[in-house]
Structures are given as structure tokens and as C-alpha cells.
Amino acid sequence: MTPTLLRPHAEDLYAEELAALKAVDSRPKPPGWQLSPWAVVTYLLGGKLDNGFEIEPKYIGQRRLMEIAVATLATDRALLLLGVPGTAKSWVSEHLTAAISGHTNLLVQGTAGTAEDSLRYSWNYARLLAEGPSLGALVPSPLYKGMETGQLVRIEELTRIPSDVQDTLLTMLSEKVLPIPELSTEIQATQGFNVIATANDRDRGVNELSSALRRRFNAVVLPLPATLAEEVHIVQTRVAKQGKALQLPVEAPALEQISRLVTVFRELRAGVTDNGKTKLKSPTGTLSTGEAISVMNAGLALAAYFGDGTLRAHDLAAGLTGAVIKDPAPDRVVWLEYLETVVKEREGWKDLYRACREVVE
């Protein structure tokens, strides 16, 4: 029996949509692109094609941001997606790459241990010792392959890469060339090559980008959802999608539960209640939309395997408390104060108050 993939690549999961867009896409395409800029934005934001085919939204937010991102990739400038954790930077990056290049497998995951080899190339040392420096002994990086084949390359968490290693990108992004001094040659980028990087400045271990590197990127900031209704819709949609993939034997969560969770996150992020009447202290964490999705999924798992299949307040309480209390000393005070001054007094929220108090004590 072939195992089921937990999370297929975007180009596989949405292959039908990409094929449908390609079939009706008669607009001009930049060199090396699978779809036109119009079709890429339609793939991201969703819509109905002239033949009635429905494209599912992948990103819920401002259309203009996606248009700027796509237009940037059609130029010689790289794209930098900025935002706090959980604002769908990686999600957007993956889907842009799937729609433009047709696959998403050219990826560099940025960490504090990322070395220049990960961005340039490395060597097969057995062949290097046997043959000496040669193209056969060279192991290409994703950027090397992207330049050679004219594909998009993703760099996740660019600011986690050490600053001196980041600057390895300068020549590749400005001159579109990767020198190979050991072989007295170079790789020149072919049409279609570009880079999408993601970064945030809220986590620890962040390395600032040099001004020279920043000039090579056009930065697009992905904001948190503007309204409660928009964020609830995002959480509801993503939870439903992930629930099917995880095959959780549980009822779909009631909209009321999602709305309560998102309200808590938004109020603590903003430092004020939804009605603007009560000022609040904010915890140290980001309380992003992505975290809200994770808390809801954890609650659904508890309800499915240790409850009656219906999501209730006590199923959400542990995940919600854990999301708020990242730094135990200050965040516990913030959370208890919020529970006592807001949750306890809010009509219809007594069950959530009791469940969260049980966990935090």
C-alpha cells in the first residue's frame, strides 16, 4: 500500500487548477513562465474562469500586494516577502513558485548554520580527490540549478543566515552570474531565473540584511488580516483543509469557537479589546493567524481522540494557553489578567474562562 503524503507540494495538490488556468491563459507570459502574471494572481486569489471553473483562493488579503509581488518577479529584481511569523510568507512563496515555474523543489532553508556551499555549490570529495576539480565533481546548489535552468528559487528565513553568507547572493542577484573560480568558469542565469526570499524581524537570532543586499530585493510586507471576519475566514478555511489531510474523525469546528479564538488573539496582539473600551497588556509572542490555525487543529485532535468528536472550550484551552504563554513569568501575568478582566465578564464565554483557568493553574 502506497503511503499517503501528509502535505503534497503545491504543484501536485493544485495540479487541476494550474492545468485549467494554463488551458485558458492567452495573456503574455514573461520568458520561462508557465502562466501569465494575470493567471498567477488569479491562482493565488481565486476566482471563476470564463468556462466556469472555480479557482480556490490560496491567499486572502490585498490583491495589490500580490500584483506587486508577481510584477517584481517579472523584472530583474528579486522578491523579499516580509512580515511577522504566521502571515503566510512561506505559503505565498510556495504558490508563486508553483504557478510560475511549475515546481517548488529548488529551496534553501536558512538557518544559523547555513554555509556558502548551500547558496553556491559544494563538491563530491570522493570524485574531487580522484579526478581533481571538474564539473562532474561539483554538487550544484538550488541557486545554481535555478540559474542554469531558468527557474524560481526560494530562500526561507533569509535573515537567519549569517550576514557574511547572505552577501554571497550579491553577484547572483545583480550580475546574474555565479563564478566558479576553481574551474575558471561561471554559470550565467537563463531567462526565468529569480529568487523569492522570506524574512521576519520578530524572532531571535535574526541577522540584518546589508544595505547592498536589500537593494537587490523589492520588499513586500504581508500584514496580519485587517478584520476579525477576514481572519476567521482564513482560519476556518485552512483548518478545514488540514483536517481532511489529517483525516481527523471529528466534526468541523463551530464558527463560534473559531471566532472566540481569533478574537482572543487579535485583542492581545492589539493591546485593546475589540470594542476599544479596555486596554490590555500584550504577551511576548506574535499570536499570528498561523498559530491560531495550529491551536484549532490541536483542539480538534483532542476532541477527536479524547472527546466525543465535538470541539469544546476545554479542547482549545491547553493550546490557547500555550500560544499565549511563551515566556512563563511575564506572559502568565498577562494571560491571567486578560482572563479575569475580559473573558470572565464576556457573555457566553464562561466555559472558556473555566477551561483556561484550569490549565493555567
* 305-330 pLDDT tens trace: 898 888 899 999 999 999 999 998 89
Q: Is the pLDDT of residue 137 over 70?
A: yes
d(CA 189, CA 175): 9
Residue 250's pLDDT is 67
Q: What b/e readout covers 261-279, taking b as 16+ CB neighbours within 10 angstroms?
A: bbbbbbbbbeeebeeeeee
User: What average pLDDT does the segment 78-102 reach?
Assistant: 94
* Mean pLDDT, rounded, for 72-97: 94
Question: What are the cell numbers at 163?
Answer: 550576514
Give the model's confidence band at 239: pLDDT under 50 very low, under 70 low, under 90 confident, else very high: confident
What pLDDT does 3 receive? 73
Mean pLDDT of 172-177: 95
- Residues 289 and 263: their CA atoms lie apart, in Å, by 11
Task: Report the Cα 283 to chain-centroid distance in Å.
Answer: 22
Q: pLDDT band for 203, please (50, 70, 90 cuts).
A: low
| The predicted structure's pLDDT at residue 199 | 93
Q: Is 87 exposed, middle or buried (0-12, 13-18, 19+ CB in 10 A)?
A: buried
Least confident of 62-76, 181-195, 273-287: 273-287
